[in-house]
């Protein structure tokens, strides 16, 4: 749905092909729009990198890698990428449009899900990731925001922006990309990522679906990272009493802190999921979670970020690093100011990493880092899109924010009276007790159908577009009043109000009607002359047909004689190659009924000649064409009866 009216791309056409209709969502690196592929006339999603990042070769490379990677994954549960390109400062991916919502939307509205629903969502997610893993890719950013649930119930995995080839994943030396709540321990500690990091993230997502909350909580990302490294994901039944132990075991298997203890990829985890489902009864699968677990979700840690893995020696930031850190803070890219020392795995507690995280917190507390958000001074704009004004005000009030201004605008996609956009936008960092502007939908804009009667068709189409409407289906009719090619009428008629963008049907004149003469049976030359004199054009069909007419005569015409056509229309003539000749059966001496049946079966018409002597006879004494001779099929054979 639209989230802003001021977006400069809305209404534009990228690459002379993709018409941007509405903004759907905004991420740290890109904005997603609903668009129309004008070449193929299909709705799709257009993922456009923020222009400020398009100059960064690493971000552009990641974008292109996503397109190439997903193009290799022909799987029904993967959001497909159709095209990739650039238009000026815009770098974009053209992707499959999934009408529906994200898993995050479902969890935000409902909280904990029934086990059956959780497994119904997890299985297609794992099927999609399994296809990626078997193709040699790791997603690296699995979270509810990247699970799309269509209006038709289909589940699809989106946003392969951080995808990496399994063969190219190695230890990194400074940062790791991902979303804090879903990072596997080895991603945090070593920067490594193989299919098992996706398995871990799916285990966290399953825990969240079963309980309505994340397994690791903290006021800062550093606290959450610490728990990933030093605390097992708790059993879901600890938060939701009554959940079967099989689900606890499934979550524990997927989220084991040691990678070797997890299923080796999503295909293996999918097998575990199906075994777990088979072990549960209907009453366990359909158990309703307690309503107390359903809570408003905070999206403070939802963004994909660049996270420092380690700092060995604390030191003051240089001025250049301070500027870079401040810039990264504004884009939610979390980057380390100094390269780390190699991490070492021992059987003892990770004291070095504990010290490192403490140093990070100290640096961040000093104001030079990018994780720290003073909860007493700042908050985030809560999601109020598609809510009524009253609902939006209540949510903002609960977040400690006021409504500064309410504006109105037309929208084809957002219900009248509900929120189209906020300023600042959803998720934006804002000071507590600050104010937010709301833009409410007035529904679709309506315009009057302009008068285009008497216009040439091309000019009528232009006039409709200028009025904010679209030229629709064209039908044609005879008209004595308007020349050929000029508009006779519109549907709806001029002056009627319609929603902006609606299609208007056009009726166009074929010119004055012309009576089509019947030229069947005429020679080709005669037929041409008659049709030309009537103002019609002549086309002769390439193939000839057998008919009752002599060879060279017109066997049939389209349109037929006696009808009407427009002046200049074409009449197609089919020439006869003569009648089909059929051998005449000998019926002399047969009864009348036998003779008629034999002749009719051969394709002839039959007439009787009885005379005075044959009034009461029943035997054929003679036939007009002797038996064994040939005659045109369909011609008449006369039988004499005595």
N-to-C CA span, the chain: 92
Query: Tell me, which fold does domain 101-301 have in CATH?
Result: Transferase(Phosphotransferase); domain 1 (1.10.510)
Question: What distance in Å separates the CA atoms of residue 455 and residue 477, rounded to the nearest whole number?
Answer: 15
Which of 448, 442, 439 minimizes the C-alpha distance to 500? Answer: 448
What are the distances in angstroms from CA 508 to CA 472, 494, 565? 12, 15, 14
Tell me the CB-side half-sphere exposure of residue 305, using CA atoms within 13 A.
Answer: 27
CATH number assigned to the domain covering 1-97:
3.30.200.20
Q: Which residues of the chain register pLDDT less than 70?
A: 1-6, 66, 161-178, 291-377, 412, 614
Which one of 141, 194, 248, 530 is the catalytic residue?
A: 141
Compute, in degrees rounded to 10, the torsion defined by CA atoms 31, 34, 37, 41. Answer: 170
What confidence score (pLDDT) does residue 67 get? 72
Q: Active site includes 141? A: yes
Where are the chain's structural domains? 1-97, 101-301, 378-441, 446-509, 513-575, 581-641
What confidence score (pLDDT) does residue 114 get? 95
Q: With respect to CATH, is domain 513-575 assigned 1.10.510.10? A: no
**How would you write 282-335 as a 3-class SS string?**
HHHHCCCCCHHHCCCCCCCCCCCEEEECCCCCCCCCCHHHHHHHHHHHHHCCCC
- Report, at the CATH architecture level, how domain 378-441 is classified: 2-Layer Sandwich (3.30)
Q: How many CB atoms lie within 10 A of CB 198?
A: 29
pTM: 0.49
Would you say the CATH fold of 378-441 matches that of 1-97? no
Residue 6 DSSP code: -
What are the distances in angstroms from CA 317 to CA 9, 320, 324, 332, 368? 38, 8, 10, 19, 7
DSSP lists the bridge partners of residue 91 as: 86
For the stretch 111-142, pLDDT in tens is 899 999 999 999 999 999 999 898 888 888 89
Residue 49 DSSP code: E
Question: What distance in Å separates the CA atoms of residue 600 and residue 634, rounded to the nearest whole number?
Answer: 9
Q: With respect to CATH, is domain 581-641 assigned 3.40.50.450? A: no
CATH number assigned to the domain covering 446-509:
3.30.10.20
What confidence score (pLDDT) does residue 74 get? 79
């Amino acid at each position: 749905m639209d989230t802003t009216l001021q977006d400069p791309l809305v209404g534009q056409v990228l690459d002379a092909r993709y018409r941007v209709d509405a903004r759907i969502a905004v991420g740290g690196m890109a904005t997603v729009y609903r668009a129309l592929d004008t070449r193929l006339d299909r709705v799709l999603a257009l993922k456009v990198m923020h222009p400020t990042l398009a100059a960064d070769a690493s971000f552009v490379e990641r974008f292109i890698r996503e397109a190439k990677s997903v193009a290799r994954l022909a799987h029904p549960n993967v959001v497909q990428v159709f095209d990739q390109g650039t238009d000026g400062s815009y770098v974009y991916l053209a992707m499959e449009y999934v009408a529906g919502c994200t898993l995050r939307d479902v969890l935000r509205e409902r909280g904990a899900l029934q086990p059956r629903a959780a497994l119904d969502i997890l299985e297609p997610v794992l099927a999609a990731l399994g296809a990626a893993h078997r193709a040699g890719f790791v997603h690296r950013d699995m979270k509810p925001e990247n699970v799309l649930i269509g209006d038709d119930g289909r589940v699809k995995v989106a946003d392969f922006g951080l995808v990496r080839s399994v063969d190219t994943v190695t230890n990194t030396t400074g940062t790791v990309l991902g979303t804090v709540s879903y990072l596997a321990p080895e991603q945090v500690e070593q920067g490594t990522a193989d299919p098992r990091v996706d398995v871990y993230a799916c285990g966290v997502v399953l825990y969240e679906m079963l309980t309505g909350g994340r397994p690791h909580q903290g006021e800062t990302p550093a606290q959450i990272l610490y728990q990933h490294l030093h605390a097992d994901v708790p059993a879901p039944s600890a938060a939701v009493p009554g959940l079967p132990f099989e689900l606890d075991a499934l979550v524990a298997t997927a989220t084991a802190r040691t990678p070797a203890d997890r299923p080796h990829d999503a295909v293996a985890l999918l097998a575990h999921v199906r075994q777990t489902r088979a072990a549960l009864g209907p009453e366990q699968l359909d158990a309703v979670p307690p309503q107390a677990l359903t809570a408003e979700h905070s999206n403070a840690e939802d963004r994909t970020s660049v996270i420092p893995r380690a700092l060995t020696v604390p030191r003051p930031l240089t001025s250049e690093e301070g500027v870079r850190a401040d810039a990264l803070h504004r884009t939610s890219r979390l980057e380390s100011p100094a390269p780390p020392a190699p991490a070492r795995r021992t059987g003892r507690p990770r004291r070095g990493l504990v010290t490192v995280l403490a140093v990070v917190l100290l640096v961040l507390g000093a104001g030079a880092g990018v994780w720290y958000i003073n909860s007493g001074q700042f908050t985030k704009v809560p999601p109020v899109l598609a809510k009524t004004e009253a609902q939006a005000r209540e949510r903002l009030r609960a977040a400690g924010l006021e409504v500064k201004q309410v504006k109105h605008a037309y929208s084809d996609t957002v219900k009248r009276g509900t929120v189209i956009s906020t300023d600042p936008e959803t998720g934006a960092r804002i000071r507590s007790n600050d104010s937010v502007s709301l833009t409410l939908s007035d529904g679709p804009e309506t315009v009057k159908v302009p008068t285009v009667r008497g216009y040439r068709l091309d000019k009528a189409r232009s006039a409709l577009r200028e009025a904010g409407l679209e030229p629709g289906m064209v039908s044609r009719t005879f008209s004595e009043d308007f020349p050929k090619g000029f508009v006779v009428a519109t549907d709806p008629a001029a002056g009627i109000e319609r929603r902006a963008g609606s299609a208007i049907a056009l009726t166009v004149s074929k010119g004055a009607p012309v009576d089509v003469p019947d030229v069947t049976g005429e020679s080709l030359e005669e037929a041409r002359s008659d049709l030309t004199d009537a103002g019609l054009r002549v086309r002769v069909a390439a193939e000839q047909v057998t008919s009752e007419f002599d060879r060279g005569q017109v066997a049939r015409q389209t349109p037929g004689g006696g009808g009407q056509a427009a002046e200049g229309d074409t009449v197609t003539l089919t020439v006869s190659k003569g009648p089909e000749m059929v051998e005449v059966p000998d019926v002399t001496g047969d009864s009348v009924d036998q003779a008629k049946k034999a002749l009719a079966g051969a394709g002839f018409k039959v007439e009787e000649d009885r005379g005075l002597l044959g009034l009461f006879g029943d035997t054929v004494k003679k036939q007009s064409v002797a038996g064994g001779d040939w005659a045109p099929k369909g011609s008449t054979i006369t039988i004499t009866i005595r």
